[in-house]
Amino acid sequence: MCPPNKKEKSPKKVSHASFAALLEENRIFKPTPAFRAQAHIKSEEIYRQANKDPLKFWETQAKALAWFKTWKKTLIWKPPFAQWFVGGKLNASYNCLDRHIVGSNRNKAALIWEGEPGDSRTLTYFDLYREVNQLANAMKSLRIKKGDRVAIYLPLIPEAVICMLACARIGAVHTVVFGGFSADALKDRINDASAQLLITADGGYRRGTVVALKAAVDDAIKQCPTIKNVIVVKRTGKDMAMQPGRDLWYHELMAKAAAFCEPEKMDAEDLLFILYTSGTTGKPKGIIHTTGGYMTGVTFTTKYVFDLKPEDIFWCTADVGWVTGHSYITYGPLANAATVVIYEGTPDWPKRDRFWKIIEKYGVTIFYTAPTAIRTFMKWGTQWPDQCDLTSLRLLGSVGEPINPEAWIWYYHTIGRDRCPIVDTWWQTETGSILISPLPGVSALKPGSATKPLPGIEAKVVNEEGREITVGGGYLVLTRPWPSMLRGIYGDPERFQKTYFAKWGGQIYFTGDGAKKDKDGYFWLLGRVDDIMLVAGHNISTMEVESSLVDHPAVAEAAVVGIADEIKGQAIGAFVTLKEGQKPDKTVEEVLKDHVVHKIGPIARPQKIIFTHDLPKTRSGKIMRRLLRDVAEGRALGDVTTLADASVVEALKEKYGEEE
């Protein structure tokens, strides 16, 4: 029973009295004996092993995959270019499907899909295998072959996963474009990749309405000369135009397709996919990942970071359009023969309990989401999760941004009911898989810290000169190659070198993030270095000020930016969303400013607080501080193509203008 309904008795009484007690400064959460006892990794020995011989460690991890041919050399490292498992042959779709359908996993649920309107489908490993084989054959019939690029522009329906795996099966390179992106963004990505085929749908559901994907496609393709065909999945049944000769129905192609398609024997270094991230300049960067190293990284981390067991029901709430979906919906979990939940829609449809209802309905055991979602749930209040049965959960994950301690504790307490370890996983599209994260059976957790680099990974915090800072803040770098690292930017090796390897002599990968290391060697991520402010000679991270604001009970979310200031260099501006029922006024503003001073010090006192109902975010939920700086400094807005809701900044601009 889920919806908060006064007449019904809530099935679970949840006490939130201990919440404040949990939120003491510097609290450490050790793995419970019960969790540790059942965990894959119970001791720190694995860190020592990996450190002693990293290549041997990665070889062991690579052996968890099925190879058609083993590699000759584990690593060739000519910075910035790495080759892993050189000479090895494998296929990603074979690893996610074929090897599971010969044993007891044949009839195990691979995908449990829930559509937003409430429809659902479960595909077993055998079902998924059959669909992928057929689609692979259908693509071949359209003359798609190894190395060709295929764009995928779909809602979160099983076909999104099927398409990725079908590409992998025949060696075509997929580039998934998030279904919420505009026609323009789609066009740029298709053209940069010179994709020949596009797979889309007649629409998808989002917050109760149909998103007309095909209309955006028709618009985009006018300017995409390389596209020869469009495959259209029938999802909504709504009317739309099919262009004869170019557009083909997915179900019609599938009906004609043969049941088996031989998986292509891919070289370990053959491309698996291109995934675009929005660079700061606006020109999208096509991050490229290859087969052997990427599969090794995601397979390893899915099993050990999430402590994945055969009976788990794993739900990563990301869209497959983001790297999180690539690595922790499709490739990592399926390579491990996991059961994966995917959900098409938004968390507030039809009501604000939809996520908790899904957990209850399917008995989700591992739940992986983003801090922005967690803060939204905090804003909505505990009544929604409280009336759902969340007892199936045993592990929680966070990704995408630093998670502020307040949100961490809320997540731990309200969702995990003080029983579930939280893995705060730091990684990037570029890193392919999780690099800094707890191992839940081993690591003592500190709310707000992603803890330490995983075994096999070497991360450091360095200063401007590249010298290591053992305790204190600086730039986060990776000082050793790792298997799932990006192999470049599609078509632009120079930009690859410049963006990631130019700052310190060519061997060191610069993440673009700032981080702090504490005396226990824990890493505290501070956000993008471009966002770090210089206030009267002091470096202050926007994240720290935001975290102190969100720490106040009235605040749901905050975004902080540095505003050019003649005297201080930069002054602090804060955009604040209050919790529901809280009224913004001058008193609250002063209280919040004082709160920041109390938490961090007078240097961090915001000069100005702007109250807002919403913050400008990317489609994947990251706050776009760059746009807030534009607003705060009265400039024209920069690139807004990746913004989730354009009206949010427009409203802020008006508001800011009025208060000036």
> Minimal distance in Å, beta carbon 526 to ligand 7RM?
8
Instruction: Establish if 62 lies at the interface with ligand 7RM (CB under 6 A).
Output: no
Instruction: Establish if 424 lies at the interface with ligand 7RM (CB under 6 A).
Output: yes
Site for ligand 7RM in 35-54 (CB under 6 A): none
Instruction: Establish if 165 lies at the interface with ligand 7RM (CB under 6 A).
Output: no
Q: How far apart are CA 257 and CA 166, in angstroms?
A: 13
Instruction: Establish if 513 lies at the interface with ligand 7RM (CB under 6 A).
Output: yes
> Minimal distance in Å, beta carbon 262 to ligand 7RM?
33
Of the two residues 398 and 570, which places its CB atom closer to ligand 7RM in the complex? 398
**CB 544, CB 600: distance < 8 Å:** yes
Residues 6+ apart with CB under 8 A from 205: 115, 116, 117, 155, 211, 236, 344, 345
Of the two residues 365 and 547, which places its CB atom closer to ligand 7RM in the complex? 547
Give the residue, chosen from 85, 355, 377, 427, that forms a contact with ligand 7RM under the rule CB under 6 A.
427
DSSP string, 504-570: TTTTSEEEEEEEEE-TT--EEEEEEGGG-EEETTEEE-HHHHHHHHHTSTTEEEEEEEEEEETTTEE
User: Nearest CA to 594 among 581, 584, 582, 609?
Assistant: 609
Site for ligand 7RM in 430-459 (CB under 6 A): 450
Give the residue, chosen from 89, 189, 394, 528, that forms a contact with ligand 7RM under the rule CB under 6 A.
528
Instruction: Establish if 95 lies at the interface with ligand 7RM (CB under 6 A).
Output: no
Of the two residues 428 and 479, which places its CB atom closer to ligand 7RM in the complex? 428
Q: How far apart are CA 332 and CA 291, in angstroms?
A: 12
3-state helix, strand, coil in the chain (%, to 5): 35, 25, 45
**CB 150, CB 171: distance < 8 Å:** no
Site for ligand 7RM in 275-294 (CB under 6 A): 277
Give the residue, chosen from 401, 544, 546, 557, that forms a contact with ligand 7RM under the rule CB under 6 A.
401
Instruction: Establish if 194 lies at the interface with ligand 7RM (CB under 6 A).
Output: no
Instruction: Establish if 523 lies at the interface with ligand 7RM (CB under 6 A).
Output: no
Reply yes or no: is the peptide bond before residue 80 cis, omega within 30 of 0.
yes
Of the two residues 127 and 430, which places its CB atom closer to ligand 7RM in the complex? 430
> Minimal distance in Å, beta carbon 425 to ligand 7RM?
5
Q: How far apart are CA 436 and CA 453, in angstroms?
A: 4
Count of residues that bind ligand 7RM according to CB under 6 A: 22
Question: Tokens in use for 660?
Answer: 């000036």
Of the two residues 71 and 426, which places its CB atom closer to ligand 7RM in the complex? 426
Buried b (16+ CB within 10 A) or exposed e, 355-371: bbbbbbebebbbbbbbb
Instruction: Establish if 429 lies at the interface with ligand 7RM (CB under 6 A).
Output: yes
Site for ligand 7RM in 465-494 (CB under 6 A): none
How far lies 83's CA from each of 70, 71, 163, 408, 622, in Å?
14, 11, 27, 37, 31
> Minimal distance in Å, beta carbon 582 to ligand 7RM?
27
Give the residue, chosen from 92, 97, 323, 378, that forms a contact with ligand 7RM under the rule CB under 6 A.
323
Site for ligand 7RM in 324-353 (CB under 6 A): 324
Residues 6+ apart with CB under 8 A from 157: 113, 115, 201, 204, 233, 235, 344
Give the residue, chosen from 342, 364, 489, 525, that forms a contact with ligand 7RM under the rule CB under 6 A.
525
Of the two residues 254 and 533, which places its CB atom closer to ligand 7RM in the complex? 533
Question: Tokens in use for 247?
Answer: 């557009």
H runs (alpha helix) in 399-541? 405-410, 493-501
Instruction: Establish if 402 lies at the interface with ligand 7RM (CB under 6 A).
Output: yes
Instruction: Establish if 546 lies at the interface with ligand 7RM (CB under 6 A).
Output: no
**CB 516, CB 473: distance < 8 Å:** yes
> Minimal distance in Å, beta carbon 39 to ligand 7RM?
20
How far lies 204's CA from each of 210, 348, 643, in Å?
5, 16, 19
Of the two residues 300 and 384, which places its CB atom closer to ligand 7RM in the complex? 300
> Minimal distance in Å, beta carbon 339 to ligand 7RM?
22
H runs (alpha helix) in 228-364? 250-256, 291-305, 323-325, 332-335, 354-362
Instruction: Establish if 531 lies at the interface with ligand 7RM (CB under 6 A).
Output: no
Backbone angles phi, psi at 232, to 5 degrees: -115, 120
Interface segment toward ligand 7RM; rule CB under 6 A; list 92-100, 164-172, 191-199, 520-528: 520-528
Positions that interact with ligand 7RM (CB under 6 A): 277, 323-324, 398-402, 424-429, 450, 511-513, 525, 527-528, 620
